[in-house]
A and B are shown apart, each in its own frame.
Chain A
Amino acid sequence: MAVAVIGVGHTKFGNRRDVNVPELAWEAMKQAFDSANVEQKDIDFFVVGTAGLWSSEAAVPSLMAEYAKLGVGSMRVEAACATGSAAIRVGYTAIESGEADVVLVLGVEKMQESPNPTVIEIIGRFGSYFWEFENFGLTFPAYYALHATAYMAKYNATEEDFARVAVKNHYYGAKNPNAQFQKEITLETALNSPYIAWPFKLYDCSPITDGAAAVVLASEEKVKEWGIEEKVWILSQGVGTGTANLSKRETFTSLKSAAFAAELAYKKAGIDMDAPYKQLDGANVHDCFTAAEIIAYEDLRFAKRGEGVELIRNEQTYIGGRIPVNLDGGLKAKGHPIGATGVSQAVEAYKQLLSKAEAGRQAEIKNGRWLTHNVGGTGHYSYVTIYSLEKR
């Protein structure tokens, strides 16, 4: 049974101390209900992606069922920073299997309910706790920095190359009214910011963010029954898992789980493994740190190994290039509310494919396909999803 996204909702990302957790989640849910033109009674199942710990509420699905008057089954899903995509997977497979017809998927995170030092302490634990954090204090930027250093050494990339990713993503973030940072930056600004975990500086890192996003998924049957015109199909999704402990990995210049997930997704969608970008109109990749975006270009086969850095140097991931990437500002400028990120990427795929993105950040839609790449931890979990205007 084919599955479509028939409605989306997205809050402003950033510091959302103006609302509490249910109020924030409802903002996204309300928009999703409105845009899908569905009532609460139409929903068969409700999935919530939230990593939590930094925010006060733990039983979010129940809290939201109460607040939003949803009287159906629900569950909470967690996959670190890929939580939102994992939630989509649960909704997607529920429909694909015939278990449900219409599913609401919500991603929500209110990270700023805790002070930054507490958040740093909690995120540092998204690895192999005892052998990495307890004894050696590897912070989250540091996990990715270990990859960045290896990439620099192997392929002669520079800190300036990484900064170019930040410049691009801030350039597009400035055009996205829902982004946390709506300001363009220069290469100098990025390069002159203080070190967080060498070689990463402040502008190489995604921020701590509050935000929510929601999508309504529906079966092909429901889409027909309701005569829904505005929708995008989930063509395929690949999932991969990496080792918890980074020292168990063969290479630091690639995330094996992401390459694995991409191959699965391409295969199922019938996309050419040698040049997948020729069949896509754009992508959202997991740029929690700048170097991660460059490594993603290679794991997703947008460039050969070692040549991802050329894509950003030659502006091939801007609109008009080989493949536009992160036209919503990415995690870097849009913000990274952990549980909401994967759902936010789905919202962006929907907007881009239906040409509903804001001026200056709308890609040209020729192939009708958009890719999202959402990584939990440092490749601990990877989800690659392909959205399409056409059902296969």
Chain B
Amino acid sequence: MEEFKKAVERNIAEYGFPVALDEKTGAMQWVDMRKLELSYLICIENIAPFFEGMREGKLLTTKCKRCGELFFPPQKDCPNCRVSEMEWVELKKEGVLETLTVVFVRPPSFAMHDPYTVAIAKLDDGVRITAWLRGDPRKVKPGQRVRVEISRRKEGYLMYELVPIEG
């Protein structure tokens, strides 16, 4: 890739265009000079208590006041009742691991992390949660009891993770 970029710079100066030959096929490529940088704004206004809860070490979510359905991740509206009368409840931070994977080939935006384990657990309240699993993934299997822990991640902000319960 570095060689390729150098070739492009050389070709702009010498040949007059941002071009380079593809390493595999030898076919001439125009190298797009318009870089796209994306970063989105995602509204959390209606689920802000979830983040407030995390600041206090709690895992909060929404429950419909009418039908009683528990939602996780928290959501503003109940599709069953078609109303938005939700209450915030605290989830028990324990459950059972259902599945896991270890991400070796990471996206560039996760390059600062070592290979990480992502797991899905079913909490005792009945909802499922996806999060990173702390510890050696080889020592756990589906069926393992886990707890949810709020912790500060490398990037500096709060997040929750799954931690195996010993014994």
**A interface residues (Cβ-Cβ under 8 A, vs B):** 15, 17-18, 56, 115, 117-118, 120-121, 124, 129-139, 141-142, 145-150, 153-154, 194-200, 245-249, 252
Q: Can you name 10 A-B pairs with beta carbons within 8 Å?
A: A18-B27, A120-B105, A130-B42, A132-B130, A136-B118, A137-B106, A146-B101, A146-B120, A150-B98, A252-B120
Cβ–Cβ contact A141 & B105, under 8 A? yes
Q: List A contacts of B156 (CB < 8 A).
A: none
Q: Render B88-115 as a binary contact track against A, CB cut-off 8 A, 1 for contact.
A: 0000000000111111111111100100
**B interface residues (Cβ-Cβ under 8 A, vs A):** 1, 22, 24-25, 27, 29, 32, 42, 72-73, 98-110, 113, 116, 118, 120, 127-132, 137, 141-143, 159
A153 vs B137: C-alpha distance in the bound complex, in angstroms? 14
Q: List B contacts of A118 (CB < 8 A).
A: 108
Q: List B contacts of A131 (CB < 8 A).
A: 73, 130
A131-B130, A153-B142, A197-B105 are contacts. A115–B1 as well, Cβ < 8 Å? Answer: yes
A198-B137, A247-B129 are contacts. A149–B99 as well, Cβ < 8 Å? Answer: yes
Q: List B contacts of A15 (CB < 8 A).
A: 22, 24-25
Q: Count how many pairs of residues, one from A and one from B, have CB atoms less than 8 Å apart in the complex.
A: 106
Q: List A contacts of B129 (CB < 8 A).
A: 247
Q: List B contacts of A141 (CB < 8 A).
A: 105
Q: Lowest 3 A-B CB distances belong to which pairs? A: A145-B101, A247-B128, A137-B110
Q: List A contacts of B110 (CB < 8 A).
A: 137
Cβ–Cβ contact A147 & B99, under 8 A? yes
Q: List A contacts of B103 (CB < 8 A).
A: 137-139, 142, 197
A118 vs B108: C-alpha distance in the bound complex, in angstroms? 8
A154 vs B120: C-alpha distance in the bound complex, in angstroms? 15
Q: List B contacts of A124 (CB < 8 A).
A: 107
Cβ–Cβ contact A153 & B27, under 8 A? no
Cβ–Cβ contact B101 & A137, under 8 A? no
A124 vs B103: C-alpha distance in the bound complex, in angstroms? 12
A117-B108, A146-B100, A149-B101 are contacts. A137–B113 as well, Cβ < 8 Å? Answer: yes
Q: List B contacts of A147 (CB < 8 A).
A: 99
> In chain A, what residue has the closest Cβ to B141?
A153
Q: List B contacts of A132 (CB < 8 A).
A: 130
Q: Which of A17, A130, A137, A153 contacts B24 (CB 8 A)?
A: A17
A200 vs B109: C-alpha distance in the bound complex, in angstroms? 21
Cβ–Cβ contact A139 & B107, under 8 A? yes
Give, as a whole number of angstroms, the nearest-CB distance from A147 to chain B: 7
Q: List B contacts of A133 (CB < 8 A).
A: 107
A153 vs B141: C-alpha distance in the bound complex, in angstroms? 8
Cβ–Cβ contact B102 & A198, under 8 A? yes
A141 vs B105: C-alpha distance in the bound complex, in angstroms? 9
Cβ–Cβ contact B25 & A146, under 8 A? no
Cβ–Cβ contact A197 & B99, under 8 A? no
> In chain A, what residue has the closest Cβ to B28?
A17
Given contacts A138-B103, A146-B120, 8 further A-B contacts (CB under 8 A): A137-B106, A137-B118, A146-B118, A148-B101, A153-B142, A197-B102, A198-B104, A199-B101
Give, as a whole number of angstroms, the nearest-CB distance from A292 to chain B: 14
A131 vs B50: C-alpha distance in the bound complex, in angstroms? 13
A199 vs B102: C-alpha distance in the bound complex, in angstroms? 8
